Amino acid sequence: MTAALAEQAAARVERAWAVLAEVPDPEVPALSVCDLGIVREVRESGDALEVVLTPTYSGCPATEVIEQSVLDALAAAGLGPARATLQRAPAWTTDWISADGRRKLREYGIAPPGAAAAGEGVPIRIVGRRAAAPAVACPRCGSERTERLSAFGSTACKSLYRCIACREPFEYFKPI
């Protein structure tokens, strides 16, 4: 590959990242697929762009929608042809959510997860109701005087909480 072609390829990949940063996650539209950390890599592969995606979990019902949204966005930006490749290992973790993504979650009214890899978070486990829930700060008022109402929120990756201070319910994105 000549230097000029290599520069064109690098520019195309850079532009693709910018386009993908605007593709919303279908379940949490305040976040882009890049904020969520499911876009692992964008690379030139022959005459096509290849976008490597890691679903948040193997049974995620939004995986096909995300794949199609990614390909549609690249085509609309004139960056096609493109293909999506699913990479399930290493498994996605909430540690891959960007700092900007965590800020957007809070602004959207969802408490962002703590760190899972650093041992600060608690992996998702199916346990009895009396299991101690992590201290979760309210995304609206910041109080840690909160209580878990349900282990599951609108999706399996979120829990339903209520703030005792401001009395508002909110979802918490579980660390995994």
CATH number, domain of 31, equals: 3.30.300.130
Per-block mean pLDDT, blocks of 10 residues, the chain (176 long): 82 96 94 96 92 90 94 95 94 94 95 70 51 79 94 88 95 90
Q: Is the pTM of this model over 0.85?
A: no
Q: Is residue 7 part of a domain?
A: yes
Taking only the tens place, the pLDDT of each residue in 101-147 is 999 999 999 999 987 655 444 455 555 555 565 689 999 999 999 99
**How far is Cα 19 from Cα 133, in angstroms, rounded to an integer?**
38
Domain count, the chain: 2
Q: pLDDT at position 1, please?
A: 61
Q: Is residue 96 part of a domain?
A: no
**How far is Cα 68 from Cα 84, in angstroms, rounded to an integer?**
9
One-letter amino acid of 76: A
Say if residue 7 is in the same domain as residue 79: yes
CA of residue 102 relative to chain centroid, distance: 9
- The helix (run of H) or strand (run of E) holding residue 159 is strand 158-163
Say if residue 49 is in the same domain as residue 119: no
Domain that holds residue 167: 109-173
Instruction: Give me the residues paired with residue 39 across strands.
Output: 53
Q: Is residue 136 part of a domain?
A: yes
